[in-house]
Amino acid sequence: MRTTYTVLAYAIAVLIVVQAAAIAFALAGLGSWVQDGGVLDKALMENEEDVPGFVVGFIVHGMNGQLLIPLLALVLLVVSFFAKLDKGVALAAAVFGLVMVQVLLGMFSRGAELPLLGMVHGANALVLFTVVIVAARRARRVGESAAAQVAVSHRATV
Amino acid sequence: MRLSRRARTLAAVVAAGAVLGPVGWLWQDSLVLGSFSVMAAGEPDFGGGPAFDHHHGDRVVATVGEDPTRAPDVTVTVVARQERFRLPGGREVDGYTLNGTSPGPVIEARQGELVEVTLRNESVADGVTLHWHGIDVPNAADGVAGVTQDAVSPGDEFVYRFVAEQAGTYWYHSHQASHVQVPRGLFGAVVVRPSDVDDDATDVTDVTDVTDVTDVTDVTDVTDVTDIVALAHIFGGTRTVNGHAGDSPVAVEPGERVRVRVINTDNGPMAVWVSGSPFRVVAVDGTDVTEPGQVAGRAVLVTAGGRADLELTVPEGGARVELGGSAALVLGPPGPPTEPKPAATVDLLSYGRSAPLGFDPDAADRRFDYAIGRRLGFVRGLPGLWWSVNGQLYPDLPMFMVSEGDVVRVRISNDSGEVHPMHLHGHHMVVLARDDVAATGSPWWVDSLNVADGERYDVAFVADNPGVWMFHCHHLGHAADGFVAHLMYEGVTVPYRIGDGNEPE
């Protein structure tokens, strides 16, 4: 369970990196599209067929952020109950909570009124990344020291 | 406190159960198994009016049609095929055609004429239907798979009959797997011209036949108006107008009056403006605007599925009708530079002169709420952030119950974070107020209403067209995700089922 916890936490961290990469790609592609005379309006953004390449960045960011990461965060929370880690549940709950906040910020910053929330969305991503790395490293350290203890006790009995 | 190993495990199991239990229950509750009748889909909402038993009606939707003995005035056969094809502008598309092309043929009629369209499915594997978007057809001709008919399988055909009662700009499209079939080509324009207009005065100019329009340009009478269809659609990420990307020249002369019938067939709103000339918005969603004022330096927002007819006199230097900034009709000499999209938009709430509605919306028999939101949950077993109506997710969306003759008011509000083009089948709704500001302009009748995030609209209509009518978001992807409610008349019964080959969205 400890290993599962560690793997899940690192997996979420990797997906957060994918999030940053995908949105940067999407915005770079959008800039290049506009340079080439392209026009992005709501109708094109909502077009679901053969979209221009950069839109894939938005789609990956949306699917990953609204489905995959929340799902892994939920599984991490469940696993934390069984992993018997010091602060393991608290950190997993913090990750889950930050993911929920992040999803809501992402949704509402795109709404008509509050694009400034996007700044909080970007900053919260780094907070979330830090917390999930701390959770993963703590779990791994506990795993390593437990393994070392086992090795020590094993040597002692020989 | 030190718990025993067993107690700790038990606590962990209980905690995990507390997290997963509700999730699991919500998941199983969202599953829709097999096929179902639209009559049993959703939560009946009587809107404060008298309740009735809606499971037993005497009138079958398929029989709510035009007089079968009346001979049609306009007869069209439309053959649907699934194939790779070339747009009139040259681009190749893997999709669907109607009579070998997409967009399909422009169907033209005069007010009062009986239109009879035979749809033949030659090779669309998933089946196909035709919905007459914006035309208040009898229910039997509404073309919604699983609601008013079964999808037409390859080799089969279906006949639509309706009287074109209202002059205006409309369109038709498949309402079977519509989120796949419409983006890939199963649609076309419908133009209904007033019966009192002389034939020569309003030739429909299809810019796809630029060579053919020379004969309509020798207009001598300045009261003549040249009709131009501007059917906008995004194919493969590129906006086209009547199948052409970029600039589409239209052979009209300076001094000529033109009526440009803009139709948005996509999933999101499109801004339309004119470079080089003022214009008037003479009709919206197939209803003429009363005393439309001259517009300059403003754009018109045409929502997904919506239409706007713009009228202008071509200036000496020509004019450009900009469709979202990425496609344009060039009217006359290709002179005027492209103007950027104006920041201001024509507000239809106060545009034109106020006129009687023909009914009293304050004497409403039923008042409904249509509150659009978005929340975490499951739809058909899939987790996600889904569109909700009155707090409920598909399939528990409201079923608005009405009796024939009812005056119905609906308050549509949107707090979902995104814009939604709300489309009501079989009826036109009049906008009474937006964000509690009453409408003061020409009666603003719509069948497709752009409801932006944070907006509230009060609309009203008279329930004068018995049947079962979808009332849904015309972002067809949203509709496919379960954003579909419907209007259900007392005494009507539906023999068709959604599922088993009928997938309306």
A110 touching chain B per CB within 8 A: yes
Q: Is residue B24 part of a domain?
A: no
Q: Are residues B454 and B382 in the same domain?
A: yes
Strand B92-98 versus strand B74-86 pairing type: antiparallel
Cα separation, A2 vs B152, in Å, equals 56
What is the reported pLDDT for B212? 38
How many domains does chain A fold into? Answer: 1
What is the reported pLDDT for B222? 41
Nearest CB to B385; choose among A71, A107, A110: A107
Give how far the C-alpha of residue A69 lies from the chain's centroid of Cα atoms, to the nearest Å.
5
A42 touching chain B per CB within 8 A: yes
Q: Is residue B458 part of a domain?
A: yes
Cα separation, B211 vs B230, in Å, equals 17
CB contacts of A72 in chain B (<8 Å) are: none
Q: What mean pLDDT, rounded, does chain A reach?
A: 88
Q: Is residue B28 part of a domain?
A: no
Task: Kindly report the nearest CA distance between residue B141 and chain A, in angstroms.
Answer: 28
Q: Are residues B303 and B324 in the same domain?
A: yes
Q: Which of B346, B376, B392 is the last residue of a domain?
A: B346
Nearest CB to B183; choose among A48, A67, A77: A48
A149 touching chain B per CB within 8 A: no
What is the reported pLDDT for B384? 81
Measured over the CA atoms of residue B423, residue B424, residue B425 and residue B431, the dihedral's sign is: negative
What is the reported pLDDT for A112? 56
Q: Which of B166, B196, B226 is the last residue of a domain?
A: B196
Q: Which of B157, B173, B196 is the last residue of a domain?
A: B196
Q: Are residues B207 and B330 in the same domain?
A: yes
- Cβ pair A47:B383 closer than 8 A: no
Nearest CB to A46; choose among B16, B19, B477: B477
Question: For position B91, which CATH number holds?
Answer: 2.60.40.420
Q: Is residue B446 part of a domain?
A: yes
Q: Are residues B380 and B484 in the same domain?
A: yes
Residue B290: C-alpha distances to residues A148, B260, B283 (Å): 85, 18, 9
Quick: pLDDT tens for A24-81: 999 999 988 888 777 888 888 888 777 788 889 999 999 999 989 999 999 999 999 9
Parent domain of A99:
2-157
Nearest CB to B324; choose among A43, A48, A81: A43
What is the reported pLDDT for B214? 35
Q: Are residues B316 and B387 in the same domain?
A: no
Q: How far apart are the first and last CA of chain B?
A: 57
Q: Is the ipTM of this complex over 0.85?
A: no
Q: Is residue B168 part of a domain?
A: yes
**Long-range residue pairs from A100-104, CB within 8 A, at least 24 positions apart, any chain:** A100/A70, A102/A65, A102/A128, A103/A65, A103/A66, A103/A70, A103/B385
What is the reported pLDDT for A53? 85
Q: Are residues B79 and B48 in the same domain?
A: no
Q: Are residues B94 and B172 in the same domain?
A: yes
- DSSP E strands in B101-164: the ranges are 107-110, 114-121, 131-133, 157-163
Q: Are residues B234 and B126 in the same domain?
A: no
What is the reported pLDDT for A22? 97
Cα separation, B163 vs B68, in Å, equals 12
What is the reported pLDDT for A132? 97
Q: Are residues B266 and B234 in the same domain?
A: yes
Q: Are residues B390 and B484 in the same domain?
A: yes
How many domains does chain B fold into? Answer: 3
Which of A2, A48, A77, A101 would best serve as a mutation to test chain B binding (most B beta carbons within 10 A)?
A: A48
CB contacts of B271 in chain A (<8 Å) are: 41
Parent domain of B169:
64-196
What is the reported pLDDT for B221? 41
Q: Are residues B371 and B317 in the same domain?
A: no
Q: Is residue B502 part of a domain?
A: no
Q: Are residues B110 and B214 in the same domain?
A: no
Q: What are the pLDDT tens digits along chain B (505 aa)?
A: 567 888 888 988 998 898 889 888 888 888 877 788 888 888 899 999 999 987 777 788 877 788 889 999 999 999 999 999 999 888 899 999 999 999 999 999 999 999 999 999 999 999 999 999 999 999 999 999 999 999 999 999 999 999 999 999 999 999 999 999 999 999 999 999 998 765 544 445 444 443 333 333 333 344 589 999 999 999 988 899 999 999 999 999 999 999 999 999 999 999 999 999 999 999 999 999 999 999 999 999 999 999 999 999 999 999 999 999 889 999 999 878 999 999 999 999 999 999 999 999 999 999 999 999 988 889 988 888 899 999 999 988 999 999 999 999 999 999 998 899 999 999 999 999 999 999 999 999 999 999 998 999 999 999 999 999 999 999 999 999 999 999 999 999 999 999 889 999 8
Bridge partners of residue B392, in order along the sequence: B389
